[in-house]
A = this chain, B = another copy of it.
Amino acid sequence: MEIVFIAIGCGLLAVLYGLFTARQVLAASPGDATMQAIAGAIQEGAKAYLGRQYSTIAVVGIVVAVLVALFLGLTSAIGFLIGAILSGAAGFIGMTISVRANVRTAEAARTSLQSGLTVAFRAGAITGMLVAGLALLAISGFFWFLTGPAGHAPDDRLVIDSLVALAFGASLISIFARLGGGIFTKAADVGADLVGKVEAGIPEDDPRNPAVIADNVGDNVGDCAGMAADLFETYVVTVGATMVLTALLVTGVDNGFLMKLMGLPLIVGGLCIITSIIGTYMVRLGRSQSIMGALYKGFWTTAILSIPAIYLATNWVLGDMTTVFGADLDGVGGYSGMALFWSMMVGLGVTALIVWITEYYTGTNYRPVRSIARASETGHGTNVIQGLAVSLEATALPTLVIVVGIILAYQAAGLIGIAFAATAMLALAGMVVALDAYGPVTDNAGGIAEMSHMDETVRVRTDALDAVGNTTKAVTKGYAIGSAGLAALVLFGAYTEDLKFYNSALGLTAPVDFSLSNPYVIVGLLLGALMPYLFGAMGMTAVGRAAGHVVKDVRHQFATDHGILRGESRPNYARTVDLVTRAAIREMIVPSLLPVLAPIVVYFAIAAVAGIANGFAALGALLLGVIVSGLFVALSMTSGGGAWDNAKKYIEDGNHGGKGSFAHLAAVTGDTVGDPYKDTAGPAVNPMIKITNIVALLLLAALAHGG
């Protein structure tokens, strides 16, 4: 049990770090009255949106919690609620910090680039540590309660079901937050650009544009709150699934040892919070003044320090690194500390490579972004064609890395090895989220600098900070979807193990045939592969529709009050924010329910036609279909979108004719297309994959209990 206490301690440390750093950030100067007024409007809008979003989700959440309680019992329902509430809290706290740090970053950027970077990165680090810390606290605290005060054995069904329910709570909130926030931010962004830049010919972030506050609110509720909920979910699901799979797969050991083994992912997560905190203190501009370099110093410090930390943790938990334990599953002949250590090293390696590949595909220094910029010279059409080509191509290297990662981790320690590799990836979540959450703060800081007519040098600094944010945002998405690739295999492993466990309770007479030559497996793969496409279509359409409302509202404001464009009267920002809020909330519901309902519908439909065994086979294949297809859809959308965005930035830096050139116009089109790709549809595929898998696990448990 002391392992779990250490993990809880590390989780609390992360929260303390968050509180301490929040005091530092809030102590910085919030600037003059104009800046504070603008920041106040953004704060108000963000708070109003999140309030509406959470009260809508709460309705769905309560209905689902009741269903969970009915089918799986009260403990699972409590797990569900803990996951849901903390996921929401992670998003809320992140957003709260972010909307206060933006104006302080702008003010600090008056002094120097370093000062601006410090405030913005600290704000990101608070969100990062709170996401990792709260996620770790949720799992380890709940696990402690179940195996301690509640007195269950670690491999008790109730413990397993409750951990899955905890993950479900986190995932369900996360998909709503990702999608709702994603629709909000891109509807506002696209709408503001279309009517502002294109029609009225006013620059980005111009205070005369009624949608400008909504655009800035969007950065906070989408890129910050939505992203935080997403990564919270990824952490809880991955670590939770590793624990569940350990309980299901490692047999022939006593409960005390199993308890330790299930605690290993927790303590690894805990120690990596400490290495992440150390990493945050390394983020400092070097002589080259490279912002990306400064951020990388933090990331690499964390990654490298995590290697000995993971080794020592494994050695301490298991007693030594070489004793083989567990039965001979997967043909790996049992497991050893060294095998698990190597698996986790695979996870770190996959993370590092995905970070590097994503930078290659979205950074302005490399071929992909430059090829899009060059294609912009011949117009809108060729810009988009080249951007789509890059987005398709950008799936190749990450897939190869994941494939090699799967093979190496499996060769080291079988399916458990893949699970521990995924856990090690997520152990770095605190640092990765810190890099990401820094982005919306600098984006907002730039907007505030522009709107409050701060000195041009400030805007240059915030722009430099923001350009890097595009890449770090793409990195997090690649990282999240890459880890989802591994986590989904773990969840599928849990599904097949559960099927074996529940075999007779479900009324099955033989093992389910998951062979590819079973046509119901193919049917499941096809239906699963369809889901990200349908989901993506819904997300893209939603943004288009909501952006259309924004365009109409802004046109109406311009038409009814001619003083707005002359800069004489203040536009009604709140009306636009409110309009986007309503549109985003309305649009997020149906797509979010797709992954919840699809597994249930597919199981019952196929079971009705071809018997329950084929129903379970099709459902299992659906889980793999959704990851096999979702991985590509998400990677192509997030990398492609990032590349389009930075191709525009590259042109704005004076290449291919610079701002206002024909190439720049084309690049703006590409950026607009990339917006819903990278910030709405693409990243939401990640929680979608996980929900589909978790619902399948819960369906099994519910059917077994009822059957």
In the complex with contacts A378-B551, A395-B533, A516-B516, A406-B523 CB distance below 8 A: yes
Most buried by B among A381, A624, A673: A381
Least Cβ distance of A648 to chain B in Å?
Answer: 12
Contact, CB under 8 Å: B385 / A523 = no
* A198 surroundings in chain B (CB, below 8 A): 379
**A628, B516: Cα distance in complex, Å:** 12
* A523 surroundings in chain B (CB, below 8 A): 403, 406-407
Contact, CB under 8 Å: B526 / A402 = yes
Task: Say which size band chain A's interface belongs to.
Answer: 35 or more
Contact bitstring A235-276, B, C-beta under 8 A = 1, else 0:
000000000000000000000000000000000000000000
Is A410 interfacial (CB 8 A cutoff)?
Answer: yes
Least Cβ distance of A392 to chain B in Å?
Answer: 4
Binds B, one of A53-61, A311-319, A488-496: A488-496
Contact, CB under 8 Å: A530 / B378 = no
Contact, CB under 8 Å: A385 / B544 = yes
**Integer count of this chain's copies in the complex:** 2
Binds B, one of A63-71, A78-86, A296-304, A534-542: A534-542
In the complex with contacts A489-B519, A515-B515, A548-B672 CB distance below 8 A: no
Is A655 interfacial (CB 8 A cutoff)?
Answer: no
* A628 surroundings in chain B (CB, below 8 A): 522, 525-526, 529, 625, 628-629
Is A415 interfacial (CB 8 A cutoff)?
Answer: yes
Partner of A519, one of B393, B415, B520, B538: B415
Contact, CB under 8 Å: A395 / B530 = yes
Is A509 interfacial (CB 8 A cutoff)?
Answer: no
Contact, CB under 8 Å: A536 / B392 = yes
Is A609 interfacial (CB 8 A cutoff)?
Answer: yes
Is A291 interfacial (CB 8 A cutoff)?
Answer: no
Is A418 interfacial (CB 8 A cutoff)?
Answer: yes
Is A620 interfacial (CB 8 A cutoff)?
Answer: yes
- A residues with CB within 8 A of B: 190, 193-194, 198, 375, 378-382, 384-386, 388-390, 392-393, 395-396, 399-400, 402-403, 406-407, 410-411, 415, 418, 485, 489, 492-493, 496, 514-517, 519-523, 525-527, 529-530, 533-534, 536-538, 540-541, 543-544, 547-548, 551, 609-610, 620-621, 624-625, 628-629, 631-632, 636, 668-669, 671-673, 676-677
- Can you list 18 A-B contacts (CB < 8 A)? A193-B381, A378-B548, A379-B672, A380-B672, A381-B672, A388-B540, A395-B533, A396-B534, A399-B527, A411-B610, A415-B519, A485-B526, A522-B624, A525-B628, A526-B628, A529-B629, A529-B631, A529-B632
